[in-house]
């Protein structure tokens, strides 16, 4: 109890406002919150699709990294939408249109980078109506616009207020710990995916780094973490 009280007093000692305005720390937590919401949105939506077509609600992982329930695509999308659309007083129509464009652009770029550097893609809209090189589509961009409108105009103001109510010292501590964990998760996850690409292309590991990923993150394991990922030949 003694140490808890000391920690509590330390947390509230600094009276500055944590992550005030559109600061780096505020945007980081928008990224984390958006990434988490995106994961569960996709998993729930996918479950209902499975229920409709197969009669069974299927809970399938839709993460972007191995260990944390976060999808960086949604995190980056939320971060960019807030940063670019809250800097000026756009109308709701402008927010919708710009949000649709930003969401589609992020989706296209992430798909291109994933395909180029790890030889995989997590989505392919080639069979969808009005798709753009299979990486995004006009209907999905319209959905991104709706997400942007709801996020920027209704959700973000409440999230921003909650973030700024966190005690300054506690907020800084949690942010730095989270950043380290997130960086390690991304490093391991994307390293494992890159090694999977070379492994499935017939290249044997010649460093301890490659052997590490082959031993602890084999292809069968990665397919359980990324069940919707397709190998691009």
Per-residue confidence band for 231, with pLDDT thresholds at 50, 70 and 90: low
Q: What is the pLDDT, as a whole number, of residue 37?
A: 92
Nearest 5°: phi and psi at 3?
Answer: -70, -35
Q: Give the tens place of pLDDT for each residue, 30-45.
A: 999 999 998 998 888 8
- Mean pLDDT within 82-111: 92
- Mean pLDDT within 116-131: 77
Q: What is the pLDDT, as a whole number, of residue 33?
A: 95
Residue 56 located in a structural domain: yes
| Residue 137: closest CA among 94, 105, 172, 165 | 105
Query: What DSSP string describes 142-201?
Result: HHHHHHHHHIIIIIHHHHHHHHHTS-HHHHHHHHHHHHHHHHHHHHHHHHHHHHHHHHHT
| Residue 162: closest CA among 54, 18, 42 | 18
Q: Domain count of the chain?
A: 1
Residue 3 located in a structural domain: no
Q: Which domain holds residue 33?
A: 19-231
**Chain position carrying tokens 């397709």:** 230
Inter-residue contact 60 to 228 (CB < 8 Å): yes
Residue 5 located in a structural domain: no
Residue 11 located in a structural domain: no
Residue 176 located in a structural domain: yes
Q: What is the pLDDT, as a whole number, of residue 2?
A: 73
- Between 93 and 125, residue with greater pLDDT: 93
């Amino acid at each position: 109890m003694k140490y808890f009280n000391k920690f509590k007093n330390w947390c509230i000692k600094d009276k500055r406002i944590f992550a005030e305005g559109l600061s780096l720390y505020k945007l980081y937590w928008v990224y984390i919150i958006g990434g988490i919401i995106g994961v569960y949105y996709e998993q729930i939506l996918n479950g209902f699709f499975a229920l409709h077509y197969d009669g069974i609600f299927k809970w399938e992982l839709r993460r972007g990294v191995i260990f944390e329930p976060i999808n960086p695509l949604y995190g980056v999308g939320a971060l960019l939408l807030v940063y670019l659309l809250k800097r000026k007083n756009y109308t709701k129509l402008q927010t919708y249109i710009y949000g649709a464009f930003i969401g589609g652009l992020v989706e296209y770029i992430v798909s291109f980078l994933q395909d180029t550097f790890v030889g995989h893609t997590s989505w392919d809209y080639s069979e969808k109506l009005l798709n753009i090189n299979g990486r995004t589509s006009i209907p999905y961009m319209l959905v991104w616009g709706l997400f942007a409108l709801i996020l920027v105009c209704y959700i973000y103001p409440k999230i921003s207020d909650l973030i700024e109510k966190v005690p300054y010292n506690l907020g800084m501590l949690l942010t730095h710990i989270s950043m380290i964990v997130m960086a390690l998760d991304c490093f391991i996850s994307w390293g494992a995916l890159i090694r999977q690409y070379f492994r499935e292309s017939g290249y044997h590991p010649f460093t301890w780094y490659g052997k590490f990923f082959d031993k602890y993150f084999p292809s069968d394991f990665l397919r359980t973490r990324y069940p919707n990922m397709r190998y691009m030949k």
